[in-house]
Structure 1
Amino acid sequence: MARIVFLPLPEAGHIHATFGLARQLASRGHELVYMAPPDGEAFLRERPWPFIPIHEEAMPRGRQAELDAQLAAPGLSLQARKDIIREVIHRHGLRITEALFGTTLEARLREAKADLLLVDATFPLPVLAAHKAGVPAFQLCTNLALNRDVAVPPLNSHHVPTGSVGSRLGIRLAWQWQYLRTFLPFEEKMRERLRAFYRLHPGAPRASFNTHLQIGPHFQVPTLVMSSPEFDFRRSAADVHYLGPCVDLDRAEPPLRLDPPQDDSPLILCSLGSHGDRLRGHEAFFQSVISAVARRPRLRLLMAVGKQLRTDAFGPLPPNVTVVDWVPQLTALKQASLMITHGGLNSVKECICLGVPMLVYPLMFDQPGNAARVVHHGLGLRGNIRETSAEQVGAQLDQLLGTPAFQARTRAMQRTFQEADAASRGAVTIEQLRQEQRLAA
């Protein structure tokens, strides 16, 4: 059995996404440890796995939450925004320097007696710190794969591949644009640092900047994706290992209290996830959803608006609408007929695992690509959050709830997901890859 260290980003979505895989590994006798900047510890409360803080100087406890709150504050001046972004870049630079040339992360990996490091693919540079410590490292994607594939568009693209000449050309151009952006000053400085690192450590895993949505390059180590290939577009290269959804359906959540209590009316769950309150103008979107449901008294709406909006910001609510700042999502999905979501992969996977079709309004990051896959596989519909109206939302709700094919396709994908997790595909795949590496050494 192995001592396996998870190193996720210190954010709810990235840490919570690992719990299903952690449970699989623990059930097979592996010992688990989590490492992250100090703010990550809060998301591990009531979990049985030890936590080791890292990057304390780069990101002191509480500072990330302060920066996020400042960016989301209404009326933020352009200069203030620039100052915050400058600080964020500076702190990323400190983390990069520590991963490449520092000794603290390397020492803590040794002290942890790690047999394997699972590095969040969004910030993969600790792969190189692990190399210095003599610890094998894999890149763990809490989203779909981030490295370039000529058959699959970048995740920040809305494009659904068709196989046509125009589609293939569009995908190639989209990736070329992503690559050209890596020559901007921040990434160019990253290249300089990597060249200096490889002069000191020529045997370290090689890097490729043919990637996106990563702070740094993609490394030539096993890339693990916490999803099933059936949900993804078909890739041309076999350089990605799918672990299955790895959704922790047994996580403890408080009970769902609806006022008035749930009846037989279809329940619509609406939430824009942990980053939803970063989008300016989202209040208008929430109002459109409320108005659409108000005109359909046969439906019920449970809406989570985050902590940047007051729950009473929408005036008197119709009797079939409940607005809260947060909902226990799994508990709510078990009662829901449909979810209106931002399209974060965690929420998409939870919807699929519980057989709930989706109406996806992507905000940022990988969400457009996730929405494209939802549409491609017939699991739901998508819209543009900046251009929506109550009429559009209402028409989409009517189409989704009135077309049984959406439910049928979601149920079919649900069975695929359930089979993967029931077989502990994630843990088995990691064990096999680790064994292959040991035999090749």
Structure 2
Amino acid sequence: MAKVIFFGVDLHGHVNPTLGLIHKLIERGEEVVYYCSDAFQDKIEQTGATFRSYKGLLGFGTNDGSGIDTFMVFADFIVNKSHIIVEALQEEVKQWQPDYIIHDAFSLWGKQFAERMDIPGISVFANFPFIDEMADLDPDFFMEYVLRAADDPIYKKYKGQHDMYRKLLDKLSRMISIKHGLQNVNVINDIFCSKEALNILFTSREFQIYADAFDESHLFAGYSLYSRKESVEFPYEQLDGRPLIYIAFGTIYNELEEIYKTCLEAFASKEHQVILSAGNKINLKELGEIPDNFIVRPYVPQLEILKRTDVFISHGGANSIYEGLCNHVPLVVMPQVFDEYMGALMVEKAGAGIYLRQAEVSAADLKEAVEQVLTTPSYRDNCCRIQQSFEATGGLDYAVDGILKFVKQRVAHETL
């Protein structure tokens, strides 16, 4: 039995995909300590892992806006947090003497702990995987969907010049390196991905954009639903068999009032039932009168709701998209920030839903998109196809096999 530390990120969309993996490792006899923020303690302990708190040191969130400036703010945030966490937890981590470390791709501190302790490190991509090598295949995609720089005047002027992205990335990497005293940093692979010699991806090559950019160090493990014991009451008895629309935009956005009002306007007629998971940062009274075909709650048991859903209107977070696909529920995606735009494009390319590109979606456009999804069987068929590609990878058993093999080989190599 080996001792393992997992360093997580305190976002539902990053914690939820890892729970099944942690549970499988523990079933195989590994002893796992999982670092995260206090709000996730119960959920993590249900896997059998030992919870350890970041003690208020983390606090992931969103930064409004897009483009290169926002990208740099986020990179700066990750590096600063890594410095703080490594300094604060180094004695605690050292005393536990882990045999290897697994960490979220955004948890740079996990990679740094593994390097300092000279033990195997493994990165887990809970978000939509993006790596620098993808830009070698399509630099414009990276500029527009990862850096979100489509409206940047310099990009507009020089769009189409193949080396523009590479020059920009090198400049950003040098800026981060100088500011934080780092060496030979690739801001994508080393900071946003914390890439290791083994990287676990919760998707399939069939669903991944530019899958050829991912070499053998990337293990595609599909996406597996892990049952979450949530003590959330919901009036299932009110669901009467009408087509069910589920609307959720995650748990961290603040300014969604206008989007929710658009949803109320679009589906106020009686032919559908609608469940709106509004989050706890919206005053529901500000939404005005709620049509009686709507069920509005701050939080709902998403996995149970998706089993009954016909169309999922989502912000395009990885957790939401993958859970929708696994339940064969086609999506209408209205991305808000960062990699959600890439997720929306992946859904569109897979034929599993519709990507609404408008900055401000009208009620008419939203209703039209939902009706198209409801009346076109191929959207659901393609969800089934993608879910089957997840299963074909071998899933969590394949991921755990890969982890244990990697650690064994690394240890054997070091003893030679």
Residue 223 (1) aligns with residue 196 (2): no
Say if 1:341 and 1:43 are closer, same or farther in 2 by CA, change over 3 A.
same
Name the counterpart of 2:153.
none
Cα distance in structure 2, aligned partners of 1:175 and 1:400: 39
Residue 250 (1) aligns with residue 227 (2): yes
Percent identity, aligned pairs only, is: 20
Say if 1:130 and 1:158 are closer, same or farther in 2 by CA, change over 3 A.
closer
Tell me which of 352, 361, 372 is aligned to 1:379. Answer: 352
Q: Deviations over 1:146-174 (max 9, x none)?
A: 42012264353689xxxxxxxx9588645
The answer to whether the 8 Å contact 2:3/2:100 transfers is yes
Cα distance in structure 1, aligned partners of 2:385 and 2:106: 30
Tell me which of 272, 276, 283 is aligned to 2:257. Answer: 283
Name the counterpart of 2:99.
115
Cα distance in structure 2, aligned partners of 1:343 and 1:43: 23
Structure 2, unmatched stretches of 5+, are 65-71, 150-158
Secondary structure in structure 2 of the residue aligned to 1:269: strand
Secondary structure in structure 1 of the residue aligned to 2:305: helix
Amino acid of the structure 2 residue aligned with 1:227: T
Task: Name which of structure 1's ranges 395-404 and 301-310 shifts more when overlaid on structure 2.
Answer: 301-310
The answer to whether the 8 Å contact 2:121/2:196 transfers is no
Give me the TM-score of the superposition, normalised by structure 2.
0.82
Say if 1:47 and 1:170 are closer, same or farther in 2 by CA, change over 3 A.
farther
Secondary structure in structure 2 of the residue aligned to 1:308: coil
Alignment of 1:299-318 (within 5 A): 299-318=272-291
Amino acid of the structure 1 residue aligned with 2:49: W
The answer to whether the 8 Å contact 2:21/2:396 transfers is no
Tell me which of 369, 372, 389 is aligned to 1:396. Answer: 369
The answer to whether the 8 Å contact 2:100/2:119 transfers is yes
The answer to whether the 8 Å contact 2:208/2:346 transfers is yes
Alignment of 1:276-355 (within 5 A): 277-278=253-254, 280=255, 282-295=256-269, 297-355=270-328
Q: Deviations over 1:258-307 (max 9, x none)?
A: 377111111111000122x23x3x21111111211124x22111011111
- CA displacement at 1:177 relative to structure 2: 3.8
Say if 1:90 and 1:394 are closer, same or farther in 2 by CA, change over 3 A.
closer
Cα distance in structure 2, aligned partners of 1:350 and 1:287: 25
Say if 1:45 and 1:437 are closer, same or farther in 2 by CA, change over 3 A.
closer
The answer to whether the 8 Å contact 1:267/1:336 transfers is yes
Cα distance in structure 2, aligned partners of 1:308 and 1:138: 35
Residue 5 (1) aligns with residue 5 (2): yes
Cα distance in structure 1, aligned partners of 2:250 and 2:161: 30
Cα distance in structure 1, aligned partners of 2:148 and 2:78: 31
- CA displacement at 1:182 relative to structure 2: 3.4
Alignment of 1:42-441 (within 5 A): 44=44, 46-54=46-54, 56=55, 59-60=56-57, 64=59, 93=80, 95-96=82-83, 99=86, 102=87, 105-149=89-133, 150-151=136-137, 153-154=141-142, 156=146, 169=160, 173-174=164-165, 176-184=167-175, 188-190=178-180, 192=181, 194-195=182-183, 208-211=185-188, 215=191, 218-233=194-209, 234-254=211-231, 257-258=234-235, 261-275=238-252, 277-278=253-254, 280=255, 282-295=256-269, 297-384=270-357, 386-420=359-393, 424-441=397-414
The answer to whether the 8 Å contact 2:122/2:198 transfers is yes
Backbone CA RMSD of aligned residues: 3.3
Alignment of 1:12-31 (within 5 A): 12-31=12-31
Cα distance in structure 1, aligned partners of 2:166 and 2:200: 21
The answer to whether the 8 Å contact 1:377/1:409 transfers is yes
Amino acid of the structure 2 residue aligned with 1:226: F
Task: Name which of structure 1's ranges 27-36 and 330-339 shifts more when overlaid on structure 2.
Answer: 27-36
Q: Deviations over 1:35-57 (max 9, x none)?
A: 24566546535442112334x4x
Task: Name which of structure 1's ranges 418-427 and 401-410 shifts more when overlaid on structure 2.
Answer: 418-427
From the two aligned structures, give the one with the greater helix fraction. Answer: 2
The answer to whether the 8 Å contact 1:305/1:324 transfers is yes
Task: Name which of structure 1's ranges 175-184 and 315-324 shifts more when overlaid on structure 2.
Answer: 175-184
Cα distance in structure 2, aligned partners of 1:47 and 1:98: 24
Q: Deviations over 1:184-222 (max 9, x none)?
A: 4x55312x2x24xxxxxxxxxxx541517x746744532
Amino acid of the structure 2 residue aligned with 1:111: Q
The answer to whether the 8 Å contact 1:245/1:349 transfers is no
Cα distance in structure 1, aligned partners of 2:344 and 2:130: 16
Cα distance in structure 2, aligned partners of 1:188 and 1:219: 21
- CA displacement at 1:344 relative to structure 2: 0.9
The answer to whether the 8 Å contact 1:246/1:421 transfers is no
Secondary structure in structure 2 of the residue aligned to 1:18: helix
- CA displacement at 1:363 relative to structure 2: 1.0
Q: Deviations over 1:351-372 (max 9, x none)?
A: 1111111111111121111111
Give me the TM-score of the superposition, normalised by structure 1.
0.78
